[in-house]
Structure 1
Amino acid sequence: MKNSTYLSIGLLMLVVVWMLSGAMAKVNDPVATEEITSKPVMQVQVLDIKAEMIDREIVVQGELIPNRTIEVRAQTASKVAELPFAKGQRVVAENVIVELDAEDRHAQLKQAEAAVDRFKLEVAGARKLEQRGLQSEKQLKSALASLAAAEADLKRARLELDYIRIKAPFSGILEQRYVELGSHLEKGDKVALILDESVLKAVGLVSQQAAGKLAMGQLIKVRLLDGQEAEGHITYISQLGDSETHSFRVEAEIDNQHGRINAGVSAELRIVIGKEQAHFISPAVLALNDSGTVGIKSVDQAGLTAFYPIEFVRTEADGIWVSGLPESVRIISQGQGFVNAGETVIPVPAS
């Protein structure tokens, strides 16, 4: 019985030694070790891009307003007799846009003209009598005063006739008409709104950080919501910032002789402040490093990955322009989220 027990213990020890020797052999085997510790090489899609020289821009949201607008007002009182132009029509400077009833103004003009003629004769006669010593200087001065008053009345009568023909002060669009036929106007009443849309002003507000980079005459590119584009140059930069937003007003003139752009619309204003080399990429290729910095991952000829922090230069509808990359670089366009800088990958050209 004792001998069989010793035999069982001996066999168990032999089995344990055999198992341990197999495990140690497997650890010492270099092929097995490589299988345990090696990581599969990742395949990533790559894209070769090159830098281009582009405009460095400050982008702000703004609007387009007419270069000039004016509310035309009546300068005399009367009833509206004629309306030669309809609302929305184009008018030329000095076109009559509203004509008032003359009433008795023509008679008043003739009366004033006659009075001037009469007092001119009186002054001439007074001078002759004064030269002969038959009339005093005081009587001549009285005649001259009467003539001056008559001439003032004549001027006023002519102005009254001129005021009944209300004219456009400049060429533009009759945007609003506040009167109708038969309307009675008093002096100072609004008649019409005329806007000059041949030149538009692009108006926007820039931050105080960007205001120092602006200069008179700088190019402004305007993009409307409907896709229309136009260009102009800065004509005004405010020297006083807004007390609440600390932003500065900037204006640029946009030629609109053909009237293809409407006033009063929202617009994106791109103010060109210089030139810069940048790469055009899709936002989908952006990545973050361990510290949360935005950048792009690249691959060199040996398949080694690298991370480049980037700065945004400007945005487009189909991508973004960034700086901070080498002039020519192979970037990871797909799979960048699964590899880290310093790792080796298998680059596959993007389809």
Structure 2
Amino acid sequence: MRLVPILTAILVTVFLFFLVVQREALLSFAKGTDATETETSPSASQDVVEDDDARQRVGVIAIRSMAQEIDSAIILRGQTEAARDVDVRSETSGLVVSEPLRKGTFVEQGEILCQLDAGTRRSSLAEAQARLAEARSRIPQTEAQVPRAAAQLEQAKAQLEEAQINDNAARKLSKGGFASDSRVAATAAAVRGAEAAVKSAEAALKTAQSGMLGVQAAIESAQANVAASEKEISRLEIKAPFKGLLESDTAELGSLIQPGGACATVIQLDPIKLVGFVPEAQVNRVKVGAKAGGRLTTGQLLTGTVSFLGRSADQLTRTFRVEIEVPNPELTIRDGQTAEILIGAEGRTAHLVPQSALTLNDSGLLGVRLVDEKMNAQFQEVTLLRDDTKGVWLTGLPEQADIIIIGQEYVIQGVPVAPEYQDIAQ
């Protein structure tokens, strides 16, 4: 009963011996050839070596790619933004006496949005104007006092000169005994009186001149009051600062507005801005004045030029604000719409490969695996420019490259590969 299992074990052992140790002989026997001839044939040995080498290589699918010149565009996500957006507020207080304008109304620059009640402001203006007229009426009288005081001063100086001559003559006559002492004393007293008259005339002239200055000060003060009253009255009309649309209703009739109170919100949509944020790695490629465009979520296409590029990065995202000015004469573009922004930049050479060809190395760097001259797999780091419906555009590769598109995840650096090339169009 045990003989059959023993014979079976012996036969299996012999078969495994020939399969492992005498494999070549077994294959030759199966093919009907002599094993010795196979071992001694050089061509057969070479075929065996090539078969072993082929079995060691990993089969992959690759493409032969040539670098192409492309228009390199910077793609951003952003939104539309009104060129101007102002909350028009009151500079004074008062009741609104004008009918409200409804949101969406188109307004011209300088158009009255809110009219406030004047109250007593016009009476204050009339009072200030009356004070100005009164101050101006004092000019002729005050001006006449100045030449009169100057004439009196000249007269006093002439009298002083005459008194000094008489006093000098009396003193000389007194020395010769021809004039009495009383005459000398009288001429000396006349000199002192004339000097006092001169000082009094000088004081009167200064008083007249200061009176004229006082009149000028009163006129300037009255003019300031008039200007302040007129400015206060001009604030009663709250006007549109620019041509645009009302984003909110104006203040309701009869409502009380305090200084700083809102009258309306006005926005300008022509032109409109596309606003995005450029990564710092690409900010040097953006130039003010460069052609740019955008596509809204509605499918509408926009074209314009870069009007602003920020010089200060956002503290959180480390990106730079960029603004693109786009004409919007029909006002079909609204404030706050999401947009895909494309900014034109200098052309670059790049390779178009399927997105599935991208892989990561052990360091986490993005790249592709290439087939080198020795038919080994090599990792090459790349830079992603942009993607489209056919694949992704990459830089950082040589002018001509054999890129593995299938099987790149099963090979590592230096692994022999057996590539099967595929047409790029496929």
Letter in 2 for 1:223: G
Q: Does the C-alpha gap of structure 1 residues 329 and 251 become closer, same or farther in structure 2, counting only changes over 3 Å?
A: closer
Residue of structure 2 equivalent to 1:185 = 257
Corresponding position of 1:316? 387
Are the structure 2 counterparts of residues 115 and 306 from structure 1 closer, same or farther at C-alpha, using a change threshold of 3 Å? same
**Contact map agreement 1:130 1:136 (CA 8 A) in 2:** yes
> What is the DSSP-based 3-state SS (H/G/I as helix, E as strand, rest coil) of the residue aligned with 1:322?
strand
- The corresponding residue for 2:129 is 113
Say if 1:47 and 1:350, in contact at 8 Å, map to a contact too: no
How many positions carry a matched residue from both structures? 329
- Greater fraction of residues in helix: 2
User: Does 1:250 find its partner at 2:266?
Assistant: no
SS class of match (2:223): helix
Tell me what 1:77 maps to. 93
| 8 A Cα contact 2:292 2:324, kept in partner | no
1:277 aligns with 2:352: no
Instruction: Tell whether the 8 Å contact from 2:107 to 2:240 is kept in structure 1 after alignment.
Output: yes
CA distance in 2, matches of 1:148, 1:291: 80
Give ranges in structure 1 of 5+ residues lacking alignment.
Answer: 1-11
* Structure 2 equivalent of residue 149 of structure 1: 221
Choose the corresponding residue for 1:122, options 130, 138, 161.
138
Letter in 2 for 1:89: T
CA distance 1:216–1:290, change in 2 (3 Å) = closer
Where does the alignment leave 5 or more consecutive residues of structure 2 unmatched? 1-10, 30-34, 39-43, 150-203
One-letter identity of the residue aligned with 1:73: R
CA contact (8 A) 2:100 2:252 kept: no
Q: CA 1:236/1:142 → structure 2, altered by over 3 Å: closer, same or farther?
A: same
- CA separation of 1:62 and 1:220: change in aligned 2, threshold 3 A: farther
**Letter of the 1:256 counterpart:** P
Q: 1:173-322 counterparts in 2 under 5 A?
A: 173-177=245-249, 179-197=251-269, 198-200=271-273, 202-204=275-277, 206-207=279-280, 209-210=281-282, 213=284, 217=288, 219=290, 221-226=292-297, 227=299, 228-233=301-306, 235-239=308-312, 241-243=313-315, 245=316, 247-258=318-329, 259-270=331-342, 274-286=346-358, 294-295=367-368, 309=380, 311-318=382-389, 319-322=391-394
Local SS of the residue matching 1:81: coil
- 2:421, 2:354 → 1: CA distance? 22
SS in 1 for 2:144: helix
Q: Secondary structure at the match of 2:215?
A: helix
Structure 2 Cα separation of the partners of residues 180 and 69 of structure 1? 21
TM-superposed CA distance for 1:311, in Å, is: 1.8
Q: Is the Cα–Cα contact under 8 Å of residues 299 and 332 in structure 1 kept in the other structure?
A: no
Structure 1 residue 166: Cα displacement = 0.7
Shift of 1:164: 1.0
Q: 94, 102, 116: which is aligned to 1:100?
A: 116
Q: How big is the shift at 1:59?
A: 4.8
| Deviation of the 1:283 alpha carbon | 1.3
Change (3 A) 1:345 1:45: closer
Residue 66 of structure 1 pairs with residue 82 of structure 2: yes
Answer yes or no: is the 8 Å Cα contact 2:288–2:308 preserved in 1.
yes
Residue aligned with 2:346, SS = strand
Go from structure 1 to structure 2 and tell me whether the alpha carbon gap of 1:235 and 1:155 turns closer, same or farther (over 3 Å shift). Answer: same
Q: Secondary structure at the match of 1:82?
A: coil
Superposition deviation, residue 74 in structure 1: 0.8
**Partner-residue secondary structure (3-state), 1:238:** coil
CA contact (8 A) 1:71 1:191 kept: yes
Shift of residue 79 of structure 1? Answer: 0.9
| 1:52 paired to 2:72 | no
Asked whether 1:25 is paired with 2:28, we answer yes
Deviation at 1:23, TM superposition (A): 2.7
The whole-number CA distance in structure 1 between the counterparts of 2:387 and 2:27 is 62
For residues 129 and 309 of structure 1, the distance between their equivalents in structure 2, rounded to whole angstroms, comes to 101
What SS does structure 2 have at the residue aligned with 1:149? helix
Q: Which residue of 1 aligns with 2:196?
A: none
Partner letter of residue 23 of structure 1? L
Whole-angstrom CA distance in 2 between matches of 1:24 and 1:305: 31
Report deviation, 1:215. Answer: 6.4
Distance in 2, Cα, partners of 1:144 & 1:290: 88
Separation of aligned partners in 1, 2:424 and 2:58: 14
The structure-2 alpha-carbon separation of the partners of 1:97 and 1:46, relative to structure 1 and needing over 3 Å to count, comes to same
- State the secondary structure of the residue aligned to 2:224: helix
1:16-67 CA distances to partner (integer Å, 9 max, x unpaired)? 9xx9997373356669979x9776x999988776533224455554444334
Alignment RMSD, CA only? Answer: 4.7
The SS at the match of 1:176 is coil
TM-score, reference length from structure 1? 0.70
Look up the match of 1:3.
none
Counterpart-to-counterpart distance in 1, 2:317 and 2:361 = 35
The answer to whether structure 1 residue 163 and structure 2 residue 235 are counterparts is yes
Q: Percent identity?
A: 22
For residue 173 of structure 1, report the CA deviation from its aligned partner.
Answer: 2.7
CA distance in 1, matches of 2:424, 2:278: 44
